[in-house]
Structure 1
Amino acid sequence: MRKRWRFIGLFSALALLLITMTSCGTKTALSDQDVLQTDVKDNTITWGVKADTKLFGLMDIKDSKVKGFEIDLAKAMTKEILGKNGKAVFVPVTSQTRVPLLRNGNIDAIMATMTINPERAKQVDFTKSYFDAGQAILVKKGSPIHSVKDLNKKGAIVLGVTGSNSVQNIGKFAPKAKVLQLSDYAQALTALKSGQGDALTTDNGILYGMSVENPNYVVVGGSFTNEPYGIAVNKGQTKFKNRLNKALTKVEKDGTYNKLLDKWFGHVKGFNYEEMKR
């Protein structure tokens, strides 16, 4: 497990370096181009995805490939847009790096557990939702914390990820709790295990992925927010956004979407994925 976290950390560092190098250059940003036209010409769509989030996008250290629901969905949508020989390229991102990488033109679209909300909609354009998540909390088995309300008691320390809206939500639902922000989910989970926090909060699907690998940790209290995930593209890329929406609708109608839900979430105990089927 430690090797995987070091691997994810390396990707995060490389992503930050890529952002810095691109920002310092004089070349016109790729985000100013017609992304759909360029992707069709190159027969490739470059996706920003999570590489530290089990079930959605997690690096497999055996073959150095990112695997998960979002990866498979991006592949299916790429084939729908570009044809059977279309290529999907995946660039690992974090909650901090995903928007800068998009703006700099290093990636064409973000499919990385990114919740659609008004603040983010000021920075990027979203497709329709492809996954209806909700924020929850993860605790060690036997913890006295059973819901978000318990976080107010005794000034509980809640672990979150910088750049996610989960941290802001805790301020609304548990204003007396103290929040410790980490750079990614791997670090946040490590902090929970080492006793640096009483609970870890983010979207329920992500937390259930953690509990699958760490059975001594459980999701409690149910969801206390609605967190619809959308695919983000740069402002002004209307044709690309519309084409993504069309592809998403197609894979939903032909059954591909539900097959992927079954594949990645059908075995997850306690997670009601059936209500997300389309």
Structure 2
Amino acid sequence: MKHLVKRCVAAVCAAACTVALAACGSDDEAGKIRIGIKFDQPGLGFKKSGTYVGFDVDVARYIARDLGYSDDQIVWKEAPSKQREAMLQNGDVDMILATYSITAERKNAVDFAGPYFVAGQDLMVRKGDTSIRGPEDLNGKRLCSVTGSTSAKTVKDRFANEVQLMEQPGYAECATALFSGIVDAVTTDDIILAGLAAASRGKLEVVGKPFTEEYYGVGIKKGSTDLARKIDKAINQMVADGSWERAIKDNTKGTGYTPNAKVNPPKATEGVGHDRVATGKED
């Protein structure tokens, strides 16, 4: 009988999690907000000695504080590219900030707030390699990107007859493949590549010819209209008070990376039902 009661309680909690922000989870997560980020992207979402750093992390912290959560009420969870939709749909996290591009296809499964940044897909090569200076040089080359990313999808859609694509679970694995000569280039968003290049200590470099626009959004569960509006408000406030610009500068220092000023900082409008359909992908 006790086991039956426990199962019923668990079922009720699981159901409640689908409609309430951070309502359920482990005892350690009670009253906290669960945010999905990348753990392996220097400059964006990076787990370092038990702490979490990067631009996505800074934006997430700002949003959480605006929603009424202190830093110690944030539970950080790793959100690999191919698992993001499932994590939101299953109620494993309350929101995801993980270089998560807003696309029409993804909107069928989840909702978004934002955007909070606009990146562009680019290429990273070994330092001094002049054989790839842009997408026009990809014929016959071997590329690496991450499974479940729209960077990989873009390669399949646009360059399928020209390149060999290796897909890995993370960009650390792609960088290793590039170091060792297994692939000729790594492709994803320029701001991600800038962080990876900086972490390589001069061994890798970004080509610097982005060929898409990627609107990074905050992924939330389908139907979370009120939450989307609150997140949009926080993002726009972060831009207005200068925190957004400081976060960009702090997290790209020394990389030589400069955001495209024509589209950055973007206006967060997804939460008010703006009809713009992003054209890009993501990491």
Instruction: Tell me the TM-score range normalised by the shorter chain.
Output: 0.7 to 0.9
Identify which of 21, 25, 32 aligns with 1:44: 32
Using structure 1 for the length normalisation, give the TM-score.
0.82
Q: Percent same amino acid at aligned positions?
A: 30
Query: Could you tell me which of 228, 232, 246 is aligned with 1:241?
Result: 228
| 1:214-247 per-position Cα deviation (integer Å, ceiling 9, x unaligned) | 1121111410000110001010111111111111
Higher deviation after alignment, 137-146 or 103-112: 137-146
Q: Residue 142 of structure 2 corresponds to which residue in structure 1?
A: 157
Alignment gaps of 5+ in structure 1: 1-24
Distance in structure 1 (CA, Å) of the matches to 2:165 and 2:251: 30
In structure 2, the partner of 1:114 is 100
Q: 1:95 to 1:223 in 2, by over 3 A?
A: same
Match of 1:32 in 2: 18
Aligned partner letter, 1:210: L
Match of 2:65 in 1: 79
| Match of residue 209 from structure 2 | 222
Distance verdict in 2 for CA 1:194–1:31, change over 3 Å: farther
Match of 2:50 in 1: 64
**Per-residue deviation, 1:251:** 1.5
Aligned to 1:174: 159
- In structure 2, the residue matched to 1:147 is 134
CA distance in 1, matches of 2:164, 2:190: 20
Match of 1:129 among 108, 112, 115: 115
- Let me know the Cα RMSD of the aligned residues: 2.3
Residue 30 of structure 1 and its aligned partner are, at CA, apart by: 5.2
List alignment gaps of at least 5 residues for structure 2.
1-9, 267-283
C-alpha offsets along residues 13-71 of structure 1, whole Å, 9 cap, x if unaligned?
xxxxxxxxxxxx856355521327889xx6522100000001001111xx311211111
- Partner secondary structure for residue 67 of structure 2: helix
Specify which structure has the higher proportion of helix. Answer: 1
SS in 2 for 1:79: helix
In structure 2, the CA distance between the partners of 1:182 and 1:163, relative to structure 1 (3 Å rule), is: same
Separation of aligned partners in 2, 1:58 and 1:178: 29
Amino acid at match of 2:144: L
- Name which structure has the greater RCO, CA cutoff 8 Å, separation 6+: 2
| More displaced stretch, 48-57 vs 140-149 | 140-149
Identify which range, 166-175 or 246-255, moves more after superposition: 166-175
TM-score by length of 2: 0.81
Q: Which is higher, the Rg of structure 1 or of structure 2? A: 2
The count of aligned residue pairs is 248
Kindly report structure 1 stretches of 4+ aligned residues shifted beyond 6 Å: 36-39
Structure-2 change in CA distance of 1:265 and 1:147 (3 Å): same
> How far apart are the structure 2 equivalents of 1:272 and 1:190?
25
What is the match of residue 15 of structure 1? none
Distance 1:243 1:142 in 2: 46
1:261 to 248, 260, 266: 248
